[in-house]
Structure 1
Amino acid sequence: MPGVKQGLFLRIGEFSRRRYRIVFLVALLVTVVSVWLGGRLTLDGDVLNLVPRNNRVINTFREALQDFGSLDYFLLLAEARRGQSVEELQDFADHVAEELQHVPSIQYVEHKIDISGPFFSFFRTNQILFLPPSKLDELAAKFTDAAIRERVRENFRQLTGPSSFLVKQLLEQDPFQVSSLVFKEVLRSKGPLKVDLSSGYYLSKDGGALLIIAKPVKPAQDTAFDKKLMEEVRRAVAAASRKFETELKEEAPGAGQAGSPAGEAARAPAVSYGGGYVIALDDSNLIINDMVWNGTVSFLLILGLYYFCYRRFGAILYSSVPLMVGQILTLAAAYVFLRNLNSATTGFSAMLMGLGTDFTIVMYARYVEERTRGRGLDESLRLMMGASAFGVFTGAITSAGTFYAMCVTEYKGLRDFGFLVGSGILFCLVAILFLLPAMIAWNEGRARKTDITRKLYLHSFGIERVMAWSTRHPWPVVAGSVLLTAVLGVYAWNLQFTSNVQDLRSPNNSGVIMQETIARKFEAEFTPMLAICRGPDLDTVMERNRETNRLLDRFVRDGTLRGYESIFNYLPPRQDQEQVIRALRAGQDGTFHIGRIERTFRA
């Protein structure tokens, strides 16, 4: 008489064998509902959501994003084609920037220094107050009579020569070039970009690439917005390209003809995309592609393995249907409990394929063994469910428990992965316990011309001979196992741990690749670190900001940091401004005498 444990599985097997139509109907209904639920899953490409919520550093970063706005930008890299000049590249960038300004999803666009804006107007009016006290001697040297006369000659040469429009405009507004003393500090407001001051554009050193920076109206974590933004930007770039190529053809009608040496130069410069929005969108697409690719490849490999082992298409049906039902149920559970998938959970499908198929292998192999020994369908199913199912159940529970143990971690990516795989194992177990005996009873209980047992086959891969040899030679097996474990342990000891959250992303993300390209060409980084100063009042905050700046200056000098931005890049400390004002007053009858300076300049 079977025990209580085996009796439960025997009753499941008996019900599935006799009422297989009901089992199929319920499985179909549950699958349809699960497909509907799973189809509502969203994809979360924000790697910050994978790390602990109670991490002080991460929470500070999140608060900074809420208080000061997103640090993400949409970057466009325009690269000149063979034969194109820097002026043509700049002209194309002007067209692109103009088109992007009309995109509703973009707040503002930068591709060059805008000296007509309110910031530079304020700067020109008060530029000496931006001057650090250490630059006072250099300022005084500019206003000697000899320096003024030399400056006038140099200005005349540049204004009458082939200098850029920006240079001429700056000379007209600042003939003494006082701004050059403070320009370097003020331009930090544009980030760590190396700006070409001769043209004002964000040009690379070799003049072959130009950077356009767009600031969208929504954060990069909104993937639906990212997709819409990408489409709008592509349309804007296409419109700018058509306008640019039309102008080139009008200027040189034969430039764009086939076979023309200038044919390449007559095309619009190549445009690539990067930045946080492209990275987030590519992450979302990679999550989908990885899930589809991993699931499909795993599924096909498992089907091929089943056919190789059992040489029957029926065996493929027995393995594939429960696995697919288990996968679909897992996606439904993911929607109910998690609401979204992320880059850390994309591999659950392939892992679930490998783990879930073990249960079918054990149970179906027992069924094949009993049938080949001459037992009938009913008796073979009873032995399969009564003897093998409990072992399968025990293995499934222990495997699921292993992955459920990951749910106690604070890392959301690992927690979600453990939940999905653990739940998926249990769903596959339930699907196999009900569907496998039902499908066998339906398929093999039909009347056939030939005995079904003639088609049953089980490939053992020579395991019997290996096990027989191992039992005859236990010591070599144990010694070899210990040696192999020791060797692999040495390699495991040297395993490195990475704390870089960006390593959670795919190295094939086009946005990341393009951002690295931009960093090389422009010596700029778009992955900043934040230092937030807090205090009970404004004076305390300012003082702590100055202390932080002094600390960061040391990091810049030793090469740890490329640079940094602070409010004091725009507004010098009060005591520095007062020191400059005192120096100007002290020299108003000598070095900084306005009348003398004007007479010498106009002479």
Structure 2
Amino acid sequence: MDLKGSDKSLAAEEKAAPQGSVNKEAFTYKMLGKLAEFSFHFPRLIIIVGLVSCLLGMIYTANYLTFDADQANLIKRSAGLQAEQDRYTNDFPRSEDIVVIVEDGTAAQRRAFVDDLAQRLREEPDIFKDVFEKVDVTFLRNYALHYLEPQQLREIAQQLKDYGPGLKALASSGGLADLMQKAPQLSREMGNSGAPDLNKLKGVLPTAERFLDLFTQSMETRGRGKFVSPWTDIMLEQLGQEGDENEDAINSMFSQERILQYNTIANGRFYALLCRPVYRDNEGQDVSINRAVSRIREILEVLERSHTNVLVGLTGELVLNVDEADSSTNDSTQSAILSLVLIAIIFIWAFREIFKPLMAVLGLIVGIGWTMAFTTLAIGHLNLLTVTFATILMGLGIDFGIHFLYRYDEERAKTADILVAMQATMRGAGYENLTGAVSTALAFYVLAFTDFTGIAELGIIAGSGILLCYLSMMLILPSLIFLTEDKNKVYEAKGISRFAFLANMEKWLLNRSEGVVIVGLVATLAALWYGKNVSYDYNLLNLQAKGLQSVRTEMHLINASEHSLLCGISLAKDVPTACQLAEKFSQLPTVSDVETVAMMIPV
């Protein structure tokens, strides 16, 4: 082979280069030509080093690359926001909960399920801690009035004053008969300035009627009937509320039993159990949260077989994060494999050859392997956005191989010297691909300057990946061609004659260039007009796979009760400030509910 001749050809092209760009182009052309010569002399070395480094990079990635499912980390925190976050985590470390939601069935059946689940979780303290399903509030029986607003206390005092004489008569030994006999006198006592007020007396009669019904039932059953306090129905009517949960709460007030308040949502429709995973084992080693999530799902599956009347869902920020990580990594892996297979099939069909397209695909795989190692070393994790980088690089990186092989096909048909053909390809398609790779990488790198961390990391990974895919394609693909191609065989160009209709279409469009420009401008203006209707979706749950149980449970909870387990948190220095913030937050149109610790402090 006449390597000197190829150098002379290179020198001739350098002399023919336009003024102002000779040095740059001469250097680039020379380096690409030397790269072709290096691949020609050491193809096995390049392939072995490339494959081994790719394999080592994938092993390194498998061991050290993590998935950051915390959606808060997608946004770059300002100094003030970071300080608030640090203050919160210092006061409330590891505050995320695993949440079990129970619905359907009766209140007793929901409570039974929650009690059984809580017992099972407490039996495994090495996996679960801080199991919270109910609160014993018996001590509040004597302090409940402390939690009422002043206006409510004034109304109660006025009602006791108004209905006091009637209630005293009802509670006397004479009972209902005494109440009826003293009705005129009581009406005057319950009136103002001694004037009868029959309306106030009417307010006592429904209560007296319930006591009479209870007395009649007791007489008919000879005292063997179940006693049901009439005060429950009376108070429910006064409160204007219904439901098993409210009825049970009021019944407990008139009994001597312990008052157990379960975690409920939507007026008792949903029962909630909260627990937290153990983050460190007995030896002080970090434990994956996945262990706790998997275990609680196993427990729920067993309990649901014996509690068939209730429906159970598992959600919470931790569960959503675990499901998001599993779903994102599995889906991205499947999409990457599918993309690679489709790329190979289309490339083989278009090029009408099997081996060279597969060589390009192999070069692409090496580049992606290098990118994975770079990502692990430079960033250390993937997020909800960057997890798709492999599929993105496959679509962009294979272009280098397509342009390269079609240009090599043309150059190889011109000469029997395989090195000359490869050098011409490098100086042609290689240079063009380099321009495209650098410009595309720079476009991605610009994203690194945004405050959206998820997008910034995607820009760094994708930009670097484009350059690495270009490098692998310029090293691996020529080496494979040198190693496998029969240099003595007459080469027959593949060309793209099968797709002549594309050339005819191009010619037809170019002959009507003015019309194409007009149509393009009209379509662009129409798209811009319609684009103003595009809105921004702030709900990160919509980024999740809709089929995930944790997402379905969370969305069902939001739709059924307008209550979400995902919330914003604000810290206040004292109770008055907390009350003021709660009042301001409740007036915001985007806020559905506000809860503050001040509600737990008696007024």
In structure 1, the residue matched to 2:514 is: 475
The counterpart of 1:413, out of the listed 454, 471, 477, is: 454
Map 1:454-469; keep pairs closer than 5 Å. Answer: 459-460=498-499, 462-469=501-508
The one-letter amino acid of 2:273's match is I
Question: What does the per-residue CA deviation read over 1:42-89, in whole Å, with 9 as the maximum and x for residues that have no partner?
Answer: 011111001012174575355424423455332223355xxx665444
In structure 2, the residue matched to 1:551 is: 584
TM-score by length of 1: 0.75
Give the match's secondary structure for 2:99. Answer: strand
The one-letter amino acid of 2:445's match is Y
Q: CA 1:509 to 1:50, structure 2 compared with 1: closer, same or farther past 3 Å? A: farther
The counterpart of 1:68, out of the listed 92, 115, 128, is: 92
Number of positions where the alignment pairs a residue of Structure 1 with one of Structure 2: 508
> More deviation in 222-231 or 300-309?
222-231
Q: CA 1:476 to 1:519, structure 2 compared with 1: closer, same or farther past 3 Å? A: closer
* Residues 51 and 413 in structure 1, CA contact (< 8 A), matched pair in contact too: yes
Q: Please state if 1:569 is matched with 2:569.
A: no
> More deviation in 511-520 or 371-380?
371-380
Q: CA 1:284 to 1:423, structure 2 compared with 1: closer, same or farther past 3 Å? A: same
Question: What does the per-residue CA deviation read over 1:148-167, in whole Å, with 9 as the maximum and x for residues that have no partner?
Answer: 63599499999714998765
Q: CA 1:75 to 1:21, structure 2 compared with 1: closer, same or farther past 3 Å? A: same
Q: Please state if 1:32 is matched with 2:55.
A: yes
Q: CA 1:24 to 1:560, structure 2 compared with 1: closer, same or farther past 3 Å? A: closer
The counterpart of 1:229, out of the listed 289, 292, 295, is: 292
Q: CA 1:459 to 1:288, structure 2 compared with 1: closer, same or farther past 3 Å? A: farther
Q: Distance in 1 between matches of 2:37 and 2:287?
A: 49
Q: Please state if 1:43 is matched with 2:106.
A: no
In structure 1, the residue matched to 2:398 is: 357
Q: Please state if 1:284 is matched with 2:351.
A: no
The counterpart of 2:529, out of the listed 479, 487, 490, is: 490
Deviation at 1:419, TM superposition (A): 0.8
The one-letter amino acid of 2:47's match is F
Unpaired runs of 5+ in structure 2? 1-7, 11-25, 172-206, 219-224, 233-246
Q: CA 1:97 to 1:142, structure 2 compared with 1: closer, same or farther past 3 Å? A: farther
Map 1:5-154; keep pairs closer than 5 Å. Answer: 5-39=28-62, 40-54=64-78, 56-57=80-81, 60-61=84-85, 63-69=87-93, 72-79=96-103, 87-104=108-125, 105-111=127-133, 113-114=134-135, 117=136, 120-140=137-157, 141-142=159-160, 144=164, 146-147=166-167, 149=171, 153=211
Question: What does the per-residue CA deviation read over 1:164-207, in whole Å, with 9 as the maximum and x for residues that have no partner?
Answer: 876554312499xxx9xxx9xxx8xx8882344xxxxxx34xxx
Q: Distance in 2 between matches of 1:387 and 1:169?
A: 86
The counterpart of 2:348, out of the listed 295, 307, 316, is: 307
* Residues 96 and 237 in structure 1, CA contact (< 8 A), matched pair in contact too: yes
Q: Distance in 1 between matches of 2:309 and 2:144?
A: 39
Give the match's secondary structure for 1:172. Answer: coil
In structure 1, the residue matched to 2:469 is: 428
Give the match's secondary structure for 1:128. Answer: helix
Q: CA 1:386 to 1:533, structure 2 compared with 1: closer, same or farther past 3 Å? A: same
In structure 2, the residue matched to 1:582 is: none
* Residues 277 and 289 in structure 2, CA contact (< 8 A), matched pair in contact too: no
Unpaired runs of 5+ in structure 1? 197-202, 205-209, 246-266, 535-540, 574-603
Q: CA 1:474 to 1:466, structure 2 compared with 1: closer, same or farther past 3 Å? A: same
* Residues 66 and 381 in structure 2, CA contact (< 8 A), matched pair in contact too: yes
* Residues 100 and 315 in structure 2, CA contact (< 8 A), matched pair in contact too: yes
Greater RCO, CA 8 A, separation 6+: 1
Q: Distance in 1 between matches of 2:538 and 2:553?
A: 23
* Residues 192 and 564 in structure 1, CA contact (< 8 A), matched pair in contact too: no
Q: CA 1:70 to 1:153, structure 2 compared with 1: closer, same or farther past 3 Å? A: farther
In structure 2, the residue matched to 1:586 is: none
Deviation at 1:488, TM superposition (A): 2.3
Give the match's secondary structure for 1:346. Answer: helix
* Residues 41 and 340 in structure 1, CA contact (< 8 A), matched pair in contact too: yes
Give the match's secondary structure for 1:107. Answer: strand
* Residues 316 and 566 in structure 2, CA contact (< 8 A), matched pair in contact too: no
Deviation at 1:514, TM superposition (A): 0.8
Sequence identity, in percent? 20
Q: Distance in 2 between matches of 1:548 and 1:191?
A: 25
* Residues 193 and 523 in structure 1, CA contact (< 8 A), matched pair in contact too: no
Pair member with larger Rg: 2
Q: Please state if 1:371 is matched with 2:395.
A: no
Give the match's secondary structure for 2:67. Answer: strand
Q: Distance in 2 between matches of 1:108 and 1:147?
A: 46
* Residues 563 and 593 in structure 2, CA contact (< 8 A), matched pair in contact too: no
Deviation at 1:544, TM superposition (A): 2.2
Give the match's secondary structure for 1:160. Answer: coil
Q: Distance in 2 between matches of 1:391 and 1:469?
A: 27
* Residues 368 and 457 in structure 1, CA contact (< 8 A), matched pair in contact too: no
Q: Distance in 2 between matches of 1:453 and 1:307?
A: 16
Q: Please state if 1:193 is matched with 2:265.
A: yes
* Residues 193 and 522 in structure 1, CA contact (< 8 A), matched pair in contact too: yes
* Residues 72 and 277 in structure 1, CA contact (< 8 A), matched pair in contact too: yes
In structure 2, the residue matched to 1:160 is: 227
